[in-house]
Chain A
Amino acid sequence: MPAFSPLLFALLFITTVANAAPEVMGNITYQRQGEQVADGTPAAIFPHWVHRVRYKCYVCHFEIYQMQAGSDKASMQDIIAGKSCGVCHNGKIAWNIKFDTCSRCHRAEE
């Protein structure tokens, strides 16, 4: 029993995660890297659809981001400094980065 219970748990975990995160076209997941993994914060998800309803593509591309996925890194330091997401998410154009808004991006699922 103790021999295959980790395997069982792993299987259970994988299926739960797979079910919990449905694929939404255009969503970009910013995977936690290096030491970030240990703190248990969920990865940040950028939903293209939320932004596309409000802005044309060229508002952000290339002024803020390149076209190819993965060509831009987003760090909290940059965002708080008014770069990347922080260009709009500053409490003026869109909601501010605060402790009560963490889970708007850092969430396990869509």
Chain B
Amino acid sequence: MTHKSLITSLIVSGWLALVLVGGCSIKTRALLFDGVDKEPPPPTTRVRRDLLAEIETLKRDLADAQKALETAKAKQQVKTADAPLPTELAKSWVELSELLPKHRSGQVDWGAALQAGTIRPQAGLDPTVLAYAEFNLDITLDRTKSPTMAARGLSAVKFSHAAHSQWLICDNCHTKGFQINNNGTDNILKHDYCDNCHGTVAFAMANLDTCDRCHLRLP
């Protein structure tokens, strides 16, 4: 009987001590125990500071993500620029000529293909080499320059340097071995001038629809 009452009184006194100590102010508790004298910051301040820190972190994450997105986009753009054009994948001339724009005469219009971006010829073996500047000078070769033209009553020829200089450089035509000057255009039909390329790699004098690509009007 005495044991039971002793145990009960111990439990009750322990309980009371806990409640009393728990109910004490921080200052009072500091008197009784060590290490509890520091007052924790008010909850409102702590939450606000945490939130501010969190906002800062999120801002930094967002900036990082945006930077990563930009880098990825730039990489993708480079990839699309590097991706071969359909014309570069063509396996045969028939396949390619279907992809290229045509002139009224039925022949492939390479100049139009270049303008439209259907083809993308490099200016050098190194893909980063810049193209030569185009030379924008149209000249008119009238029939006084050519006995043949005069004899046949052909209208003057308009020669566009711009159209040619997007493929060729000056010395491709203006050289000793392949002399073109203002004084002799009579040999055009003798494989000396235009015919070096026209009819071999450039449009040929194929039919009457071709004439007005050079001659200002039909005779």
B159 within 8 Å of A (CB atoms): no
Knowing that A53-B96, A58-B172 touch, tell me 6 more A-B residue pairs with CB under 8 angstroms.
A47-B93, A56-B167, A57-B168, A58-B169, A62-B172, A67-B196
Is A79 located at the chain interface by the 8 A CB criterion?
A: no
How many residues in A have their beta carbons less than 8 Å from beta carbons of B? 24
Q: Is A72 an interface residue (CB 8 A)?
A: no
* CB neighbours of B168 from chain A (8 A): 56-58, 61
Is B45 in the interface zone, CB < 8 Å from A?
A: no
Question: A59 with B178: in contact, given A24-B93, A67-B172, A110-B92 (CB under 8 Å)?
Answer: no
| Residues of chain A lying within 8 A (CB to CB) of residue B177 | 66-68
Contact assessment for A69 and B125 in the assembled complex, using a CB-CB cutoff below 8 Å: no
B121 and A52 form a contact (CB under 8 A): yes
Residues of A within 8 A of B210 (CB): none
Residues of B with C-beta under 8 A to A93: 125
B88 & A26 in contact (Cβ 8 Å cutoff): no
A sample of 15 inter-chain contacts (CB < 8 A) reads A52-B110, A52-B201, A53-B90, A54-B121, A55-B121, A55-B122, A56-B123, A56-B131, A56-B168, A59-B125, A61-B168, A62-B172, A67-B178, A93-B125, A110-B92
When each residue 36-66 of chain A gets 1 if its CB lies under 8 Å from chain B and 0 otherwise, what string results? 0000000000011100111111110110001
Bound: A54/B125 CA distance, A: 10
B:153-189 near A, CB below 8 Å: 166-169, 171-172, 175, 177-178
